[in-house]
Amino acid sequence: MRLWLAGRMSIRHIKVRLIKLSRSLIIPHFGVHLSYWEHKGGCIMRKIRLLANGALFIIFVFLAVLPAQYLLADKGQHYPQRGQAVANQLILKLEKGRSPDEFLTEVNGHVVGSIPEPNIILINYHNHVKAQKMAESLSRRNGVIFAEPNYLCSVPEVSQNDQIIPDQNNPVYIAGVSPGPYYNQQATNSTHSDSANLLSTGADIIVGVIDNGIDFDHPLFDGLADSTGYDFIDNDEDPSEEVGDLLGHGTFVSGLVKLMAPDCELMPYRVFDENGVGNAYIISLAIYQAIDDSVDVINMSFNTYTASSSIQTAIAAAHQAGITMVASSGNDSCSTICYPASYDGVISVGAIDSLDYKADFSNYGSYLDVVAPGTMIYSALHTNYESDWGYWNGTSFSAPQVTGTCALILELRSSLPGDSVESQIRETAEKDLAWGTVVPQDTLYGYGYDDALQAVICLCRGDADNSGQIDSLDINYLVDYLNNGGPAPTPIFELGDVNCSGTINMLDVSYLINYLDNNGPAPCCQ
């Protein structure tokens, strides 16, 4: 909502300026003090004024009727159009053992990159045929599984980076303490991440962040070595963000993963340049790299409306490898299918505003899994800004909250495959939002609101003594609590409510006995 308001505010400003400008032309025209030229019968001047006023009127009407999102989208000079691709480049996947040599000479091309395991190659060709046409022709060849243009891709905030609001009250990181608005915001309060962190902090979980890099100099990432991750734009081992129109995106996203899962290990992969533009080939490369690096979760705060077989193949390989993947739904307020959010094995995340309603800009549809706060989100800003902290809007910032929740789940159950983590996220999502109850699967809200606390409680319920496992000692602990005034279940009281009745009593004890001794049902989820 705020994003749209911000968009309309700027339109209003433009309108006010236009009105003032048109007055400066109109007033002398109709005013009593006629100019020298008008006294002289200056027809030319009058015509110019008439034309200028006409033009201004047309612009005025145009701005008044044009929906805000088009104006916002137009502001991003670097925002790729649908289907836009790198000129004279193709991505091909060949059958095992096939080589591209047979048609490279024919198209006057050469290989500029390859991903060996899936046998995907990137070629440059030198003729005047458009990439789409060339791809269609090559995909009919024997041995070619697919051929496609190397589509451009970008993060949705490319067109909205002017909406960053640096926090002037907390310009720098003071004495190792991050500012209050970072720890105390809708993202932490609604997902109850601080309580969830009593049970899990994401320790030993590697989170790959496919974005435009990270600011290693930000104090929040103090322990992160500069060579962590990879830079696929410059092809070097330093995925630091570079100064450009999209400065801060990857840093902001990474800050939110850390907010939810403070002890996870970040693995930044830089696939978007300083202006937020990347392509399908390097995104695929980064996904394969994440598989090689054995990351546990991948955050993808980007989306495209152009399906890419290359990205889809990489996502399928990561899915096959059991990696949990999370993607943002996009900021165009539309239900057009977007990728990678809608691919199998990806948890797609939309944004809600401060009142729990779908954020105006958030994309939606049947593929949506969950929602998380996405307006006035507070996180780490690149240190080039006047403050190390600030606010930003977008579904890009909803996704990393869910990614963090996945890291918490995986610390407790490291062998859970991505599909099970996705089910867990859906099952434990909060369905009761401020305005009413979500009936899953809702196209605007998915399965509800990401709830980190419920997600981890679900895995720990029954472990009343917080030992890390559920056994007969927990039965003794509960009996001692109920009969002898012993200590309550810790660190979260709900862990003792194994039948999810809302209270702890002897029924929970018998439920636990039945589970442990008679193979009865496991402690409930919520």
Catalytic residue positions? 211, 249, 396
Neighbours of 152 (CB within 10 A): 20
Torsion of CA 470, 207, 363, 370, to 10 degrees: 0
The helix/strand/coil state of 94 is: strand
**Per-residue exposure over 391-430, b if at least 16 CB sit within 10 Å of its own CB, e if not:** bbbbbbbbbbbbbbbbbbbbbbeeebebeebbebbbebbb
Q: Is 497 exposed, middle or buried (0-12, 13-18, 19+ CB in 10 A)?
A: buried
Secondary structure tally for the chain: helices H, strands E: 17, 17
Query: Rounded to 10 degrees, what is the CA torsion of 252, 253, 257, 260?
Result: 60
Residues 241-259 as b/e (b if ≥16 CB within 10 A, e otherwise) read: bbeebbbbbbbbbbbbbbb
User: Min. distance of Cβ 473 from Ca ion in angstroms?
Assistant: 6
Q: Which is nearer to Ca ion, 100 or 523 (CB)?
A: 523
Output the smallest distance, CB 466 to Ca ion, in A. 7
Which candidate, 327, 332, 331, 330, places its Cα nearest to that of 312? 327
β-sheet bridge partners, residue 152: 279
273 or 463, CB closer to Ca ion? 463
Identity of the residue, 89 or 324, whose beta carbon is nearer to Ca ion in the bound complex:
324
First to last CA, the chain: 31
Rounded Cα distance between 328 and 277, Å, is: 16
Nearer to Ca ion, 234 or 263 (CB): 234
Alpha-carbon span 209 to 283, nearest angstrom: 11
Q: At what angle do helices 249-260 and 399-412 cross, to 10 degrees?
A: 40
Provide, rounded to whole angstroms, the least separation between the CB of residue 452 and Ca ion: 18
CB of 242 to Ca ion, least distance (A): 7
CB of 365 to Ca ion, least distance (A): 11
With respect to Ca ion, which residue has the nearer C-beta, 194 or 238?
238
- Contact by Cβ (8 Å): 411, 203: yes
- Convert 483-520 into a string of H (helix), E (strand) and C (coil): HHCCCCCCCCHHHHCCCCCCCCCHHHHHHHHHHHHHCC
The smaller minimum CB distance to Ca ion, of residues 280 and 326, is found at: 326
Which residues sit at the interface with Ca ion, rule CB under 5 A? 231, 234, 236, 238, 369, 463, 465, 467, 474, 497, 499, 501, 508
| Cβ neighbourhood burial of 479 (10 Å; 0-12, 13-18, 19+) | middle
Closest distance of CB 261 from Ca ion, Å? 20
Nearer to Ca ion, 238 or 480 (CB): 238
Q: Give kind and range of the element (H or E) at residue 298.
A: strand 297-300
Distance CA 93, CA 134 (A): 14
What are the backbone angles phi and psi of residue 140, rounded to the nearest 5°? Answer: -85, -5
**C-beta of residue 346 within 8 angstroms of C-beta of residue 321:** no
- For Ca ion, the closer of residues 186 and 329 by Cβ is 329
User: Using CA atoms, how far apart are residues 307 and 445, in angstroms rounded to an integer?
Assistant: 23
Please state the closest distance from residue 445 (CB atom) to Ca ion, in A: 14
Q: Decide whether 94 or 470 has the Cβ nearer to Ca ion.
A: 470
Least distance (Å) from Ca ion to the CB of residue 463? 4
Contact 208, 245 (CB under 8 A): no
Comparison of 231 and 451: residue with beta carbon closer to Ca ion? 231
In angstroms, what is the minimal distance from the CB of 477 to Ca ion? 7
Q: Report the nearest approach of Ca ion to the CB of residue 346 (Å).
A: 5
